[in-house]
A = this chain, B = another copy of it.
Amino acid sequence: MENTNTNSTEQESMGDTKKYTVTVVGVGLIGGSMALALKEKGFAGKVIGVEKSETHRQKALQLGLVDEVWNMEEAITQSDIIILSVPVGVCMEVLPGILNKIDRQVVIDVGSTKQGLIEIVSGHPKRGRFVATHPMWGTEYSGPEAAVKGAFAGKANVICNKHESDADAVELIEKLYRTLGMYLVYMNAADHDVHVAYVSHISHITSFALANTVLEKEKEEDAIFELASAGFESTVRLAKSNPAMWVPVFMQNRENVLDVLNEHISQLRKFKACLEKENTEYLQELIENANKIRKIIK
């Protein structure tokens, strides 16, 4: 893993003010927020939306997330950059077809798993025009109305298997993410998928399972509502996340997620054993060990 610092100021001072036409395929939380940010920063002169839901199309235009709405074919022709911000399963279905149709354009995805997608286009004659990226930002909400201004800034964007993409394509996409105020991290797809199982996917599973635990056993919803502290809200908020996005992510990354989930269940069993045996010393140790996360998460 190597990092680079943002460098947009230097580029701006070099008078690089070219504005790009950007197509966003799937105008929801990530695609919509990216559209807003690229226009606000002056990177995109025009944003075209490709969106299969009629409601979302209307909403995206009405909220000013996109300037125009086109079908995929026409949007590709008009664009410099195509951003795939659809669930990873859909991404895997449409990416080869998009690569068939492009020439000078650059295509990126913004999904949470990388290995499967990259394998699908491995050996494609236009593989070089595709850059696999994962901006590490999101919320538990979805759809065009979930799009927010000022997203992404200060967060990491991962670029996977950089050397399989054309140098000019990578350079353009690095510029795009730096314009959003993100710092760049480079990884191979397999490592990426292991790491995100730890720093993102397992958090979603524990949160979904925690919500189901409370909904199953705590029938007095009023009590939850009245008493829920900030601590509960923060551990359970990801449970509002959209299954259309997360089912394919978990399935794509199932082996890594299963590894982490097995470890997590075994860690929970240690807490259970402490309580059953009233072993306060070991409980103290487990919590002290958990406190080491302070070194990593400030």
Chain A interface (Cβ < 8 Å from any Cβ of B): 1, 3, 136-140, 155-156, 158, 185, 191, 195-196, 198-200, 202-218, 220-241, 243, 246-247, 250-251, 254, 257-265, 267-272, 274-276, 278, 280, 283-284, 286-297
Q: Are A268 and B267 interface neighbours, CB within 8 A?
A: no
Complex Cα–Cα for A215 and B251 (A):
24
Please tell me if the beta carbons of B290 and A211 are within 8 angstroms of each other in the complex.
Answer: yes
Closest B-chain residue to A268, C-beta based? Answer: B209
Cβ of B296 and Cβ of A228 under 8 Å apart? yes
Complex CA distance for A211 and B223, rounded to whole angstroms: 28
Contact flag A204-B231 (CB < 8 Å), given A3-B226, A213-B264: yes
Chain B residues with CB below 8 A from A208, complex form? 271, 286-287, 290
B158 x A227 contact (CB < 8 A): yes
CB neighbours (8 Å) of A259 from chain B are 217
Which of B233, B251, B272, B275 lies in contact with A265, CB distance below 8 A? B272
CA distance A183 to B115 in the complex (A): 51
A1:B217 contact, CB within 8 angstroms: no
**A158: nearest residue on chain B (CB-CB)?**
B227
A-B contact pairs, 20 of them (CB 8 A): A1-B222, A138-B230, A185-B227, A195-B223, A198-B218, A200-B231, A200-B232, A203-B231, A208-B271, A209-B271, A213-B267, A225-B296, A228-B296, A234-B237, A236-B297, A240-B294, A247-B283, A251-B283, A254-B278, A258-B275
